[in-house]
Amino acid sequence: MKKFIGMFAALILGAVTIFAVNAAPVGNPFLKGVNSPSELAGKIEASLAKDPKGTTMLDAARCKKDGSCARPLDYLMTLQQSDPDARLTDVAQVPVFLRTLRVTDAPMGEYWISCLKPTGKGAYEPVLHCLSRSFKPGEKAWVNPKSGRIVFASDCTNPIEKPVPPKQACAEVRFFTKKDDPQYGTDTAVRFAIVGPADVKDDCIGVKRAGEEDFERWWTDECKNVHCEFAAPAAVVGQKVRLIGSYIPAPGKHVLRVPVSFTQKGSLYRVLICLDRTTMAWPELPKEYRSLEALLATAPRRPVRGDDPVAYLAAYGEWRITYIEWRNSAIAKINDYAKKREQWIVGHSDTIGVRWHDYQPSKSGIKTATVYYDKAEIPSGEPQLYIPWGEWEKMQKVR
């Protein structure tokens, strides 16, 4: 029994938390295939004639074709944030406002553009700060002539939020993921965070997933589990988690864009990254196994010695059989938990932290930190940044 209790306590103390991740890249267009502000105004007016509240999708067929699933209300909600000088208070005002816009050649540089984010079951929500991209070749800008503000990108008719800072004001962290690799297998999720002394609200912050051309915001709700908080690495660093993100990756190179201030000498901000190679959930012990007191409370009660020794011996014999069955069942459940726990740990990497001195000048003029997939891949003289697998556990065993 002592061996059993010791093993139980060790497992409880060594428990790890799970990081849950959702997939689905976001960034749906509002409505493609529109040639002018007046044409979009006409479509919205026709929709409002049938649904004055503006909650009906403008083009259901187009939504199925290319994800253009906007409602008139989505334009109102986004424009109220992106162009407050327009003073839009009702969805019926949107067509009138659209007809005042002027079509111009697109400017240079990148802009934060809104998008429609899928929320499940065919529903979408407008998000103003969504994608970061340059205007496409031939694409036009729709401008409010009164304020001079660029309001729309013509290709997708997504409202524009604001310019992205110049590249020199941003830095990048690059890392890699694999799929069906003979040695490493497949990465099923990537998780990342920023820790530091204060909240980070900077227009540089973005992520470019492998295979994508544009940057997008860090989606904190793609990591819905309450344990997805990088609590243990943050405690080691001594800084609070300020921002998290996660997604199921395509294989290739990913880029996290951060403020260049992260690269300044002595900066306390760090970017944390880790990978998963399994989709299994963290194995949970039943509640009665999570403390020794709760577990012992489920044990069969030992009979109390009474005046009749024959009756006591008979009851004791029955209890002993029952107790051994209970003990063996408990040990089997804990051994099964230990096995699944080990499988989970093997499938999840440790966390690597990128510090201020890990960023190096690049040919593009952007300070860059590269987190390699394996230690052997690091070129000579570069910072020792690679995805660590099981190194924390090995350190504990050495101690």
Predicted local confidence at residue 228, as pLDDT: 57
Domain end position, chosen among 163, 186, 215: 163
In a domain, residue 22? The reply is: no
CA distance 169 to 110: 13
In a domain, residue 332? The reply is: yes
Assess whether pLDDT exceeds 50 at residue 22. Answer: no
pLDDT, mean over the chain = 87
Assess whether pLDDT exceeds 90 at residue 358. Answer: yes
Residues 55 and 190 in one domain: no
Strand partners, 246: 191
Domain end position, chosen among 120, 139, 163: 163
In a domain, residue 7? The reply is: yes
Coil, strand or helix: which one is 172?
A: strand
Residues 232 and 265 in one domain: yes
> What range does the domain containing 370 cover?
167-278+351-387
Q: What percent of the chain has pLDDT over 90?
A: 66
Assess whether pLDDT exceeds 80 at residue 24. Answer: no
Predicted local confidence at residue 179, as pLDDT: 94
Assess whether pLDDT exceeds 70 at residue 19. Answer: no
Q: Which residues contact 101 (CB under 8 A, 6 or more apart)?
A: 37, 142, 143, 144, 145, 151, 152
DSSP state at residue 90: S
Residues 127 and 197 in one domain: no
Predicted local confidence at residue 221, as pLDDT: 66
Q: Which residues contact 317 (CB under 8 A, 6 or more apart)?
A: none
CA distance 84 to 76: 11
In a domain, residue 361? The reply is: yes
Predicted local confidence at residue 25, as pLDDT: 59
CB 16 within 8 A of CB 344: yes
Predicted local confidence at residue 6, as pLDDT: 34
Predicted local confidence at residue 318, as pLDDT: 93
Strand-pair category, 189-196 with 240-247: antiparallel
Residue 385 banded pLDDT, cuts 50, 70, 90:
very high
Burial status of residue 78 (CB atoms within 10 A of its CB: 0-12, 13-18, 19 or more): buried
Domain end position, chosen among 163, 194, 222: 163
Predicted local confidence at residue 183, as pLDDT: 87
In a domain, residue 41? The reply is: yes
Query: How confident is the model over 358-387, as a mean pLDDT?
Result: 92
Residues 67 and 198 in one domain: no
HEC sequence for 31-81: CCCCCCHHHHHHHHHHHHHHCCCCCCCCCHHHHHHHCCCCCHHHHHHHHHH
CB 113 within 8 A of CB 130: yes
CA distance 348 to 363: 34
Residues 265 and 302 in one domain: no
Predicted local confidence at residue 174, as pLDDT: 97
Residues 122 and 176 in one domain: no
Predicted local confidence at residue 289, as pLDDT: 82
Predicted local confidence at residue 284, as pLDDT: 82
Strand partners, 110: 134
Residue 12 banded pLDDT, cuts 50, 70, 90:
very low
In a domain, residue 17? The reply is: no
In a domain, residue 122? The reply is: yes
Predicted local confidence at residue 397, as pLDDT: 56
Q: Which two tokens stand for residue 101?
A: 């816009």
Predicted local confidence at residue 278, as pLDDT: 84
Residues 193 and 91 in one domain: no
Residues 147 and 194 in one domain: no
Find the radius of gyration of the CA atoms of the chain.
Answer: 29
In a domain, residue 59? The reply is: yes
Residues 113 and 251 in one domain: no
Residues present in the chain in total: 399
Residues 274 and 327 in one domain: no
Predicted local confidence at residue 399, as pLDDT: 45
DSSP state at residue 83: -
CA distance 364 to 379: 19
Report how many domains make up the chain: 3
The maximal CA–CA distance of the chain, rounded, in angstroms, is 102
pTM of the full structure: 0.80
C-alpha dist (Å) from residue 334 to 9, 264, 282, 326: 11, 48, 14, 12
Q: How many CB atoms lie within 10 A of CB 90?
A: 9
What phi, psi does 61 have (nearest 5°)? -65, -40
Residues 83 and 151 in one domain: yes
Assess whether pLDDT exceeds 50 at residue 21. Answer: no
Q: How many CB atoms lie within 10 A of CB 255?
A: 17
Residue 143 banded pLDDT, cuts 50, 70, 90:
very high
Predicted local confidence at residue 226, as pLDDT: 47
CA distance 208 to 190: 13
Residue among 21, 18, 20 at smallest CA distance from 249: 21
Predicted local confidence at residue 9, as pLDDT: 31
Residues 298 and 223 in one domain: no
Predicted local confidence at residue 393, as pLDDT: 62
Q: What is the pLDDT of residues 265-287, one digit of tens each?
A: 999 999 999 998 888 777 888 88
